[in-house]
Amino acid sequence: MDAPRPGRLARVSGAVLVGGASQRMGSDKTHLKFAGVPLAARAAALLTDFLEDVVLVGGDPPAEAPGRRVPDPEGSRCALRGLVGALEAARGERVVVLATDLPLLTPDLVLGLIAQPPADAVVPRNADGSHPLCAVYRREPVLAAARAHLAEDRLALRALLETLDTRFVEGDALRALDPDGAALLNVNDEADLDRARATLR
């Protein structure tokens, strides 16, 4: 492993899942530009600001996206398989796992999740529900559980969370990290993208 660079955490890794199907958007969200930057590159750059080890899992990441490229594990594409790939490739004891489609995500929210008391999974939860693809996972126990779920074809990430020691960050605790309530906006279709751009303006 390379020597840690000043100002970056070495015991927490970051992972951006870039192998999603993007069915509702109708095009590959990985390369979709937001404020002139591909979504995957935007997410990876946010993580590399404060994490030593960042991986881009699956898919075809933009050339400008920082981080190590690793493939998804063999099999049909799904978020659980991407999570397994992220945890297998990560070097840190804990791993920040992000979907590629969170253009308004802030360092304050991610660092706030990292700073929470230890748990197998630290997951934000708002009125839209829990966000397992903007979460911090303890690598070894979660990898074992995720592999078991994958082998049994139990693919829902929320079902995985039910089997883990999961800490949900919600209510006032979440508002303190995301005062505008915009950081967890998922861009799933053109209407979401327009809303995110309007919020940024």
pLDDT over 70 at 201, yes or no: no
Residue recorded with tokens 């508002």: 175
What CATH number is associated with residue 155? 3.90.550.10
pLDDT at res. 118: 87
In a domain, 49, yes or no: yes
In a domain, 1, yes or no: no
Q: Give residue-wise pLDDT tens across range 4-17.
A: 455 689 899 999 99
Q: Give residue-wise pLDDT tens across range 78-96.
A: 999 999 999 999 999 999 9
In a domain, 35, yes or no: yes
| Closest CA relative to residue 183, chosen from 82, 95, 113 | 113
Segments forming the whole domain that contains residue 60: 11-200
Q: Out of 35-39, 124-128, 156-160, 190-194, which region has the weakest mean confidence (pLDDT)? A: 190-194
- Count structural domains, the chain: 1
pLDDT at res. 28: 65
In the chain, the N- to C-terminal Cα span, in Å, equals: 40
In a domain, 20, yes or no: yes
In a domain, 112, yes or no: yes
* Distance (Å, whole) CA 55 – CA 16: 6
In a domain, 125, yes or no: yes
pLDDT at res. 3: 45
Q: Which residues contact 198 (CB under 8 A, 6 or more apart)?
A: none
pLDDT at res. 4: 45
Which range, 18-22, 126-130, 184-188, has the best average confidence (pLDDT)?
Answer: 126-130
In a domain, 134, yes or no: yes
pLDDT at res. 163: 97
In a domain, 2, yes or no: no
